[in-house]
């Protein structure tokens, strides 16, 4: 309900007629009663037009109204509001009604229940890792090539990996907006003191298992505290991202058949865990910091590196310290380069009628957001819209453009009803990884625990 | 007069409870409409054979033990001490009750700072007391629950304290005087006169406290999210995880119902025990 401008073309109504004489109490009461009655009938008559009216009647609402739901707060939220404003300016005839919910379960439960209850928004944001669940439950409208092309959106204009991930059962279910990989933040001043910067201030070469550890050791010598910080307290997702990035570089897979079969590669999992434990055994990485703490260690100069998602760029920038970013290092060479990533995409939740769906208006809005995705890129996300990703303006955007290549190695969550952003897979496997990182679980035991968790999840009846 | 209340009671309490009871026999899903398919006792069988269900139930009980004991005993001690002040009693009443007014989100944020690693107050206190490597209060599976329990005691002790203080003021002065005349010292007066006369307040405080502690959710959800390694996951968080994160509403309904019955049984048994000792007394 926020950010809703007054509908265009409605002049303020005439002021209510003022009583000529001083009103008596009874007259006032009567007037108030009449006013209430008018408001009530008026509300009933125009009920289909208001959000509350629609809630009760399930009506399609006026064709000019476009509901858009998103889970963006903070810096991302401010950018999204800016992008919505650009759309409103160009489409004054559309009443764009953008609603923001709290990220995570609160957002996805509302989106799911509104769609089941035939009152979905016309457009909504989702993580592409949630597509298997949402599309598997039949909540998302398929998006046809023709209607997409009518708005100038074709497959060749999107980042390939995100585009693939936006499909389910061979049909397109979402339009990718970005890719947000797990990356490496570098304090350039610390790296310089540690002798890690190459000629011209180029980023340190930290690829390879020993090379990365050497870089952390050098940084630790400068900071006197830590080499690199990683959030491991109350942040299972970050731990999962670390494990998944390493494990995918070893070529491992976790589950197959939409999560029904466990195919974990125990040797690879143990190797990835052994490396994770090397980071903490040498005290190069702290074991007890949460997400804000991990960022503070970097910005306060007590760690030279930070492994985290690109969306933390705003928090690091706010600290006004010299820093740079680069893709997650290539530690292992057993498989193609990989780093954990997810994407935001725009979906059209299934409406009860075409009239309520308003797919054309919705897609026009999506296109407008894509065109404005240079603003979105400022928040750290790599734009999936190639005209933006390949633009000169984006290439000049620093440090955002330095890690754009990470999108090519984007390793999404395995496809399963229990995977995706904030899912049980993240919570359970992330817990195991945090335990290994903290030295409470040995690598081999960690891999075995992971297999147990996966077997339990795979044996759980799917809600789909 | 009862009609409006009855209506809301029916629609918002009895109705959902019946739905919960029914959904527990179906594989109801959050991402699909309707109740789903009838699965009979499958959800119950699965819950009973799932380790996480039992550990989460145990965590709720453990949290209840960790909080109820100090929250009752400490509240009584504080009330007894405060009652001795003839002047300025309002100050202690306010001071001890004030934290109770704070919302759970506020105390969670406060204690997340206090318990934070490296920068938190709790670690620097531990260091000044001589501990060289203070534990990670919320990050160590052995300490996390204790830390949350300590925060909860600080937060909610005011409620029990106020009830005890009110009950203490109900005790007539003559009883104290009579006991003193009979030669009872201060400690004996507390032990044999005051505490027995607080019996009804104790029943109220302990039953309310048991129920409140068994349904702990807010502060754990915010402070640790059930971690580390699920060491602080209480039963209600398990319900939340299975119902909302995983979308298995039917199964989550079953677990909620079991939890409901457990809380009801514990409260009833406790209530009956207290009643009997009271009568014997």
- Residues A383-396 have pLDDT tens digits of 999 999 999 999 99
Q: What is the CA radius of gyration of chain B?
A: 23
User: What pLDDT band is residue A38 in, cutting at 50, 70 and 90?
Assistant: very low
For A88-115, what is the mean pLDDT? Answer: 93
Q: Is B36 inside any structural domain?
A: no
- As given in the structure block, the two tokens for residue A168 are 């389910």
A26, pLDDT greater than 70: no
Question: For chain A, what is the mean pLDDT?
Answer: 88
B86 located within any domain = yes
Q: Which of A133, A259, A463, A139 is nearest to B27 (CA)?
A: A463
Pick B224's closest partner by Cβ from A112, A139, A234.
A234
Mutate to test the interface with B, among A285, A453, A463 (most CBs of B within 10 A): A463
Interface check B245 vs A, CB under 8 A: yes
* Candidate from A25-39, A128-142, A257-271, A282-296 with smallest mean pLDDT: A25-39
Is residue B243 one of the residues assigned to a domain?
Answer: yes
Domains and CATH numbers, chain A: 61-176+344-383 (3.40.190.10), 182-340+414-459 (3.40.190.10)
pLDDT over threshold 80, residue A22: no
B217 CB near a chain A CB, below 8 Å? Answer: no
The pLDDT assigned to A12 comes to: 39
CATH of the domain at B174: 1.10.3720.10
Q: Are B158 and B97 in contact (CB under 8 A)?
A: yes
All residues at 6 or more sequence positions from A122 whose CB lies less than 8 Å from its CB, including other chains: A66, A67, A68, A348, A349, A351, A356, A357, A358, A359, A361, A362, A365
| Chain B nearest C-alpha distance from A94 (Å) | 30
For A295, which DSSP code? H
Within an 8 Å CB–CB cutoff, is residue B189 touching chain A? Answer: no
Structure tokens given for B18: 């019946």
Maximum separation of any 2 CA atoms in chain A, in Å: 91
Contact A437, A232 (CB under 8 A): yes
Q: What is the ipTM of this complex?
A: 0.85
Predicted pLDDT at B33: 83
B124 within domain boundaries: yes
Distance CA(A107)–CA(B266), nearest Å, equals: 35
CB contact under 8 A, B141 and A440: yes
Residue B209 belongs to some domain of the structure: yes
How confident is the model at residue A265, as a pLDDT? Answer: 96
pLDDT of residue A52: 65
> Does residue A143 register a pLDDT over 90?
yes
DSSP state of A186: E
Answer yes or no: do B227 and A233 touch at CB < 8 A.
yes
Mean pLDDT of A171-188: 96
Q: Retrieve residue A275's tokens.
A: 């490396």
* Residue A123 C-alpha, separation from nearest chain B C-alpha, in angstroms: 18
Judge contact between A186 and A198, C-beta under 8 A: no
Q: Given A137, A232, A418, which is nearest B246 (Cβ)?
A: A418
Check CB contact under 8 Å for B117 and A288: yes
Q: What's residue A29's pLDDT?
A: 58
B100 belongs to a structural domain = yes
Please give chain B's pLDDT, 281 residues, in tens.
Answer: 778 889 999 999 999 999 999 999 999 999 988 888 999 999 999 999 999 999 999 999 999 999 999 999 999 999 999 988 888 888 989 999 999 999 999 999 999 989 988 778 999 999 999 888 888 898 889 999 999 999 999 999 999 999 999 999 888 888 888 888 888 888 888 888 888 889 889 989 999 999 999 999 999 999 998 878 889 999 999 999 999 999 999 999 999 999 999 999 998 998 888 888 777 76
pLDDT at A33: 55
Q: Which helix (H) or strand (E) holds A430?
A: helix A424-437
Q: Which residue, chain included where needed, has tokens 């633009």?
A: A391
Taking only the tens place, the pLDDT of each residue in A284-341 is 999 888 888 899 999 999 999 999 999 999 999 999 999 999 999 999 999 999 999 9
**Total domains present in chain B:** 1
Asked if residues A239 and A273 have their Cβ atoms less than 8 Å apart, the reply is no
Place of tokens 């979308």: B247
Burial (Cβ within 10 Å: 0-12, 13-18, ≥19) of residue A47: middle
Judge: B246–A460 Cβ closer than 8 Å, yes or no: yes
A314-339 in b/e form (b: 16+ CB < 10 A) is bbbeeeeeebbbbbbbbbbeeeebbb
- Find the CB nearest B227 among A109, A134, A234: A234
Inter-chain residue contact A463 with B118, CB threshold 8 Å:
no
Q: Which one of A105, A236, A460 has the shortest CB-CB distance to B227? A: A236
Gap from A8 CA to chain B (nearest CA, Å): 37
- Answer yes or no: is pLDDT of A443 > 50: yes
In this prediction, residues A412-430 reach a mean pLDDT of 93
Report the gap between the CA of A401 and the closest CA in chain B (Å).
Answer: 34
CA distance linking residue A128 with residue B225, whole number of Å: 24
By Cβ distance, the residue of A113, A116, A431 closest to B229 is A431
pLDDT (0 to 100) of residue A2: 37
DSSP state of A50: S
**Nearest residue in chain A measured CA to CA from B137:** A288
pLDDT at A349: 96
A210 pLDDT exceeds 60?
Answer: yes
Domain of B211, in residue numbers:
50-280
Looking at the domain assignment, is residue B22 inside a domain?
no
Residue B59: strand pairing partners: none
Residue B19 within any structural domain of the chain:
no
Measured between beta carbons, which residues in chain A are less than 8 angstroms from residue B112?
Answer: 290
Cβ pairs bridging A and B (under 8 Å): 99
Distance CA B271, CA B206 (A): 9
Contact residues, chain A, for B247 at CB < 8 Å: 112, 133, 417, 463
CB contact under 8 A, B248 and A424: no
Predicted pLDDT at A199: 76
The 10s digit of each residue's pLDDT in A154-172 is: 999 999 999 999 999 999 9
Nearest to A420 by CA among A114, A168, A123, A132: A132
A288–B244 CB contact, under 8 Å = no
Interface contact B267, partner A, CB < 8 A: no
Does B31 contact A116 at a Cβ distance shorter than 8 Å?
yes
Q: How many alpha carbons fall within 13 Å on the CB side of residue B204?
A: 13
CA A12 – CA B157 distance, rounded (Å): 55
pLDDT beyond 70 at A7: no
| Angle (CA) A382 A312 B119, round 5° | 165
Rounded Cα gap, residues B113 and B101, in angstroms: 19
Question: Is B229–A289 a contact, with Cβ atoms under 8 angstroms apart?
Answer: no
Which pLDDT score, from 0 to 100, does residue B199 have? 87
- Residue B275's CB is within 10 A of a number of other CB atoms, namely 12
The span from the CA of A184 to the CA of A198, in Å, is 17
* Helices (H), ranges, A1-153: 25-45, 51-57, 74-90, 105-116, 131-136, 145-150
What strands, in cross-sheet order, belong to the sheet with A344-347? A95-100, A65-70, A123-127, A344-347, A175-176
* Among candidate residues A448, A457, A347, A444, the one with its CA nearest the CA of residue A413: A457
A287 has a chain B CB within 8 A of its CB: yes
Pairing type for strands A65-70 and A95-100 reads: parallel
- Closest Cβ opposite residue A423 in set B31, B112, B245: B245
pLDDT score of A27? 59
């Amino acid at each position: 309900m926020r950010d809703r401008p007054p509908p265009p073309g409605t002049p303020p109504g005439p002021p209510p007629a003022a009583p000529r004489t001083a009103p008596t109490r009874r007259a006032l009461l009567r007037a108030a009663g009449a006013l209430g009655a008018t408001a009530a009938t008026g509300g009933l008559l125009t009920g289909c037009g208001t959000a509350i009216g629609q809630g009760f009647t399930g009506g399609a609402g006026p064709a000019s109204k476009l509901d858009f739901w998103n889970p963006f707060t903070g810096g991302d939220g401010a950018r999204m509001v800016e992008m919505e404003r650009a759309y409103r300016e160009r489409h004054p005839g559309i009443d764009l009604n953008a609603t923001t919910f709290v990220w995570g379960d609160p957002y996805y439960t509302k989106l799911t229940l509104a769609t089941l209850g035939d009152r979905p928004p016309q457009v909504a944001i989702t993580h592409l890792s949630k597509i298997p669940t949402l599309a598997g439950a039949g909540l998302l409208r398929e998006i046809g090539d023709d209607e997409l092309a009518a708005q100038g959106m074709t497959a060749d204009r999107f980042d390939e990996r995100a585009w693939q991930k936006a499909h389910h059962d061979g049909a397109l279910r979402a339009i990718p907006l970005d890719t947000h990989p797990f990356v490496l933040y570098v304090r350039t001043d610390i790296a310089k003191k540690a002798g890690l910067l190459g000629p011209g201030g180029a980023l340190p070469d930290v690829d390879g298992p020993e090379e990365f550890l050497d870089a952390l050791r050098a940084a630790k010598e400068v900071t006197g505290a830590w080499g690199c910080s990683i959030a491991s307290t109350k942040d299972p997702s970050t731990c999962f991202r670390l494990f998944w990035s390493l494990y995918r570089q070893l070529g491992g897979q976790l589950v197959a058949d939409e999560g029904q079969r466990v195919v974990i590669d125990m040797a690879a999992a143990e190797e990835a865990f052994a490396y994770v434990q090397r980071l903490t055994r040498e005290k190069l990485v702290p074991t007890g910091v949460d997400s804000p703490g991990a960022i503070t260690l970097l910005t306060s100069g007590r760690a030279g590196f930070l492994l985290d998602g690109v969306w933390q760029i705003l928090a690091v920038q706010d600290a006004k310290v010299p820093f740079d970013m680069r893709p997650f290092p290539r530690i292992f060479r057993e498989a193609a380069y990989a780093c954990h990533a997810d994407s935001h995409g725009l979906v059209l939740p299934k409406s009860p009628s075409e009239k309520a769906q308003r797919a054309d208006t919705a897609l026009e809005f999506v296109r407008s957001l894509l065109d404005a995705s240079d603003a979105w890129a400022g928040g750290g996300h790599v734009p999936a819209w190639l005209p933006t990703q390949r633009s000169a303006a984006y290439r000049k955007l620093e440090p955002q453009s330095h890690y754009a290549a990470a999108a090519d190695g984007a390793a999404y969550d395995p496809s399963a009803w229990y995977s995706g952003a904030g899912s049980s897979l993240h919570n359970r496997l992330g817990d195991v990884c945090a335990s290994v990182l903290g030295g409470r679980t040995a690598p081999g035991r960690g891999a075995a625990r992971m297999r147990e968790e996966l077997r339990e999840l795979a044996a759980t009846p799917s809600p789909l | 007069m009862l009609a409006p209340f009855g209506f809301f009671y029916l629609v918002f309490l009895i109705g959902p409870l019946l739905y919960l009871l029914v959904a527990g026999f179906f594989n109801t899903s959050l991402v699909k409409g309707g109740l789903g398919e009838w699965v009979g006792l499958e959800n119950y069988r699965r819950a009973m054979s799932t380790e996480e269900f039992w550990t989460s139930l145990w965590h709720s009980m453990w949290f209840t033990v960790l909080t109820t004991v100090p929250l009752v005993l400490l509240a009584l001690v504080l009330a007894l001490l405060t009652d001795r002040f003839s002047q300025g009693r309002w100050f202690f009443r306010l001071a001890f009750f004030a934290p109770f007014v704070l919302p759970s989100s506020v105390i969670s944020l406060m204690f997340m700072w206090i318990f934070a690693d490296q920068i938190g107050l709790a670690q620097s206190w531990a260091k000044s007391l001589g501990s060289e490597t203070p534990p990670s209060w919320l990050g160590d599976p052995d300490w996390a629950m204790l830390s949350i329990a300590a925060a909860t005691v600080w937060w909610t002790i005011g409620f029990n304290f106020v009830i005890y203080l009110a009950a203490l003021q109900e005790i007539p002065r003559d009883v104290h005087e009579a006991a003193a005349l009979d030669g009872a010292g201060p400690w004996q007066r507390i032990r044999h006169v005051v505490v027995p006369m607080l019996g009804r307040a104790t029943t109220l405080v302990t039953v309310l406290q048991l129920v409140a502690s068994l349904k702990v959710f807010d502060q754990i959800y915010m402070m640790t999210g059930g971690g580390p390694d699920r060491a602080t996951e209480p039963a209600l968080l398990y319900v939340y995880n299975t119902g909302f994160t995983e979308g298995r509403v039917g199964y989550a309904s079953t677990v909620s119902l079991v939890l409901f019955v457990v809380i009801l049984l514990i409260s009833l048994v406790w209530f009956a025990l207290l009643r009997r000792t009271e009568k014997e007394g």
